[in-house]
Structure 1
């Protein structure tokens, strides 16, 4: 009887807290995303323009013999899959950074002139310097992206109120329109530049030169590292510039 009374008087188990439920949902979402990525990787390696049976695909991955079918899998399909993963990480993190910085769930790197700056620099490189390879495009695109976003931020910082999300968006859209117009003018003047920029602007994962994923990987890893270091400050910025300054954050930096 004493045990029954003790059980009756015991408090009910506490319900999971809201942060705990949110963490659980995030873990579940992460698991689903990883599973979807694995399925996509398998399909990318197994399916292509050449219809190959699963056993041939498996042999190409485990014991390639140099045949045309094995070269198709271990070369073209694996390369495009790795390149797609690297590019996908870059695009996903870049979009998340822009959305956090501008506090706009629809923002992308094009909002702050990143894409326009990179495209303009590459257009100049193709038209003036005659660049043709990915290792030549990368430095130009990186410099153009940084310069474009810096110009947008400095222009939006003028006047009262500082670089608010609305002002950043408006300046970025106007800046993008100007650079895109200049880039298209340069491309229309020269046929070769037009062809290269059309191909570069459209983009593709197939028929890339061997080693393309390795060429861009150091830049991607550096960007992911910077993004990881900026995660906590961006969480503070999401509360507003004033709240960020209140917790000791240097909003401008």
Structure 2
């Protein structure tokens, strides 16, 4: 019966330590200490042990019933301590995980910033050297690793470099005025000093120019001339 009653009082992982001392010829003093296995909190050692003193017959009759209150109460206190320790461990683990995640994120951001700054610095050197095409490549790389704030600044710089590249390009300007075409200018004929020479030249040109006067072709020539017999249904 004793162990059956004790078993009903005890919970999982609970230790009951009984210390029995004979204080008189027929008197026994029994001290019961309740502990919990795995509990790290040193506060459990400050729980007052349950103590009962009496002759053996009295202890046989009332000892287990006397334990009915203090043991479960002490066990409940120890259970709360253990739950608190478990929650503390979970909180600490989460805190470490959160710190590790924060450190990892800060490290990644630092590395990205260093890469972005490196590409941006290289691009600025290339802009100063007039290598605008290479500068745009490095600016795009810098924007890839930059945070949101720096991305806006790099985008503006990219637009500025692109505008500089378009200066002087046929594709970078829009025509606003009418196009100007060059007309072929026939060089003026040489002017002779004397009018007589000019008249003689005109006469000679008129004689030599076959198109200066209209020549009527004979009928027999017209019949043989292909151009004279062409109809209106021509490509021209």
Q: Is TM > 0.5 for Structure 1 vs Structure 2?
A: no
Higher RCO structure, 1 or 2 (CA under 8 Å, sep 6+): 1
- Relative to total residues, which structure has the larger strand share, 1 or 2? 2
TM-score bin, normalised by smaller chain? under 0.3
TM-score, normalization: structure 1? 0.20
- Relative to total residues, which structure has the larger helix share, 1 or 2? 1
